[in-house]
């Protein structure tokens, strides 16, 4: 009976909706329905409509450290929310993020398994994936952030890449780059893989999107000043995130430095750049090895989702960016039964690291401890190791 129940196409969708509604109810009951980041995007969209300055210092902005840090074109994405008013916009964005997660899961299922009929294994995998990333999903909802939106764009670009839809890839990737430039790692992959059409279309749509704010800032000085302020804001943001030994730095550079004898070295600016370049070279060499020497039927897809999972390991960002491990997580869930025991254990431990550090579950002391040792980073590294070390044992054409 349970197996037949899980074979229904809609079971995982109902589960996702219940999780979202339950989280919303909890926020309303506890009077924590804030969505602070969305409020910043909303206020920024209002300023853009009125042709005002978008980038303001903490002293100028009443929302304390919640200062707008993204590009001018990214602000235009939130203009439709201004039409509804802030309160309604919060509910709409909550529903939108829920839909986005559902569409990500649906797209990944079709990307990895094609049109395979829904069965208990697939349904269970999708439900487990929601549970594993649940803490990061809830934080996205609570704050109204854009990490889930970015992941959606990456997954859509993956689907376009797989179907050789170059212009689709270009417009999707261009939008993502103006939100956060993380997608540059995927552009580099396109270049190495000689997918020049995708790169050219991305460049074309970047130029088009770059010009959109001119509609609100027709004066050339105001238009250029907008981008000048953005570049200044980027410089401030990057300058505040260079401490390799900071507990909140979950990048691979920091993890290696903090949990090795490197922590005893006082890095100069030049030494830090050399160290990070060496780590990047090692990662790049490993990716190239699997691209060229250990090809399987779906090598490009695997490389793509590994690169998505690597993003929070390269960029000093919020810990709920480890939502980006969702594609590789689902891929491995689909093929979990093919792993030998040691890799099943590694996979389970990695999943617990990705999603097990829940404040209300482990308490404030343990939460801070796990956060301080970058437990999410170790989880992401574990998932990547599982797929790399089982590279030739699993294949997209072997679905059961």
Per residue in 97-138, pLDDT (tens digit) is 999 999 999 999 999 988 778 888 899 999 999 999 999 999
Give alpha helix (H) positions in 212-266.
220-239, 252-258
Residues 177, 162: Cα–Cα separation, whole Å: 20
Q: Is residue 343 part of a domain?
A: yes
**Closest among 169, 172, 167 to 150, alpha carbons compared:** 172
Across the chain, what does the average pLDDT equal? 88
The pLDDT value given to residue 133? 94
Q: Is residue 188 part of a domain?
A: no
Task: List the structure tokens of 336.
Answer: 């979990």
Look up residue 93 and give its DSSP letter: H
**How crowded is residue 259: how many other Cβ atoms within 10 Å of its Cβ?**
13
Q: How far is CA 16 from CA 20, 102, 166, 282, 339, in A?
A: 6, 7, 32, 38, 27
Q: Is residue 54 part of a domain?
A: no
Q: Is residue 125 part of a domain?
A: no
Cβ proximity of 55 and 234 under 8 Å: no
Q: Is residue 299 part of a domain?
A: yes
Q: Is residue 256 part of a domain?
A: yes
Rg (C-alpha) for the chain, rounded Å, is: 21
Residues 52, 165: Cα–Cα separation, whole Å: 38
Q: Could you tell me the residue range of the domain that residue 398 belongs to?
A: 241-400
Q: What is the pLDDT of residues 51-85, one digit of tens each?
A: 888 886 544 544 444 678 889 999 999 999 999 99
The pLDDT value given to residue 8? 61
Residues 54, 29: Cα–Cα separation, whole Å: 34
- Name the pTM for this structure: 0.93
Residues 193, 305: Cα–Cα separation, whole Å: 15
Q: Is residue 25 part of a domain?
A: no
Compute, in degrees rounded to 10, the torsion defined by CA atoms 137, 138, 144, 150: 0
Indicate the number of domains in the chain.
1
**Closest among 82, 18, 11 to 44, alpha carbons compared:** 82
Residue ranges of the chain whose pLDDT lies below 70: 1-8, 56-66, 237-242, 395-400
The pLDDT value given to residue 400? 45
Q: Is residue 342 part of a domain?
A: yes
**How crowded is residue 155: how many other Cβ atoms within 10 Å of its Cβ?**
25
């Amino acid at each position: 009976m349970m197996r037949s129940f899980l074979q229904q196409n809609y079971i995982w969708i109902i589960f996702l909706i219940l999780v979202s509604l339950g989280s919303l109810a909890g926020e309303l009951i506890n009077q924590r329905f804030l969505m602070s980041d969305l409020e910043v995007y909303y206020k920024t969209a209002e300023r853009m409509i009125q042709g005002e300055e978008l980038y303001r210092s903490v002293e100028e902005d009443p929302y304390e450290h919640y200062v707008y840090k993204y590009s001018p074109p990214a602000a235009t994405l939130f203009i439709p929310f201004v039409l509804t008013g802030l309160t309604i916009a919060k509910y709409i964005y909550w529903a939108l993020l829920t839909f986005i997660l559902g569409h990500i899961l649906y797209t990944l299922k079709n990307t990895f398994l094609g049109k395979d009929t829904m069965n208990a294994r697939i349904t269970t995998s999708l439900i487990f994936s929601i549970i594993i990333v649940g803490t990061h999903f809830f934080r996205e909802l609570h704050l109204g952030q854009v990490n889930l939106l970015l992941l959606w764009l990456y997954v859509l670009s993956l689907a376009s890449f797989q179907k050789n839809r170059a212009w689709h890839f270009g417009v999707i990737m261009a939008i993502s780059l103006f939100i956060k430039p993380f997608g540059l790692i995927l552009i580099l992959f396109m270049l190495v893989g000689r997918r020049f059409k995708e790169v050219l279309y991305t460049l074309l749509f970047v130029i088009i999107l770059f010009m959109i704010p001119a509609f609100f800032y027709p004066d050339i000085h105001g238009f250029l000043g907008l981008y000048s302020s953005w570049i200044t804001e980027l410089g401030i943001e990057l300058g505040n995130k260079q401490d390799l030994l900071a507990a909140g730095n979950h990048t691979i550079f920091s993890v290696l430095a903090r949990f090795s004898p490197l922590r005893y070295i006082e890095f100069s600016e030049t030494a830090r750049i050399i160290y990070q370049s060496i780590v990047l070279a090692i990662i790049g060499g490993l990716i190239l090895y699997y691209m060229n020497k250990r090809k399987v039927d779906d090598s490009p897809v695997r490389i793509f989702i590994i690169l998505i999972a690597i993003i929070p390991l390269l960029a000093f960002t919020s810990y709920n960016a480890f939502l980006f491990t969702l594609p590789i997580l689902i891929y491995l869930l689909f093929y979990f039964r093919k792993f030998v025991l040691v890799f099943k254990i590694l996979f389970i431990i990695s999943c617990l690291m990705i999603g097990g550090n829940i404040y209300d579950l482990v308490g404030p002391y343990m939460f801070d401890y796990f956060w301080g040792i970058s437990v999410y980073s170790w989880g992401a590294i574990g998932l990547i190791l599982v797929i790399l070390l089982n590279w030739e044992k699993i294949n997209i054409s072997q679905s059961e």
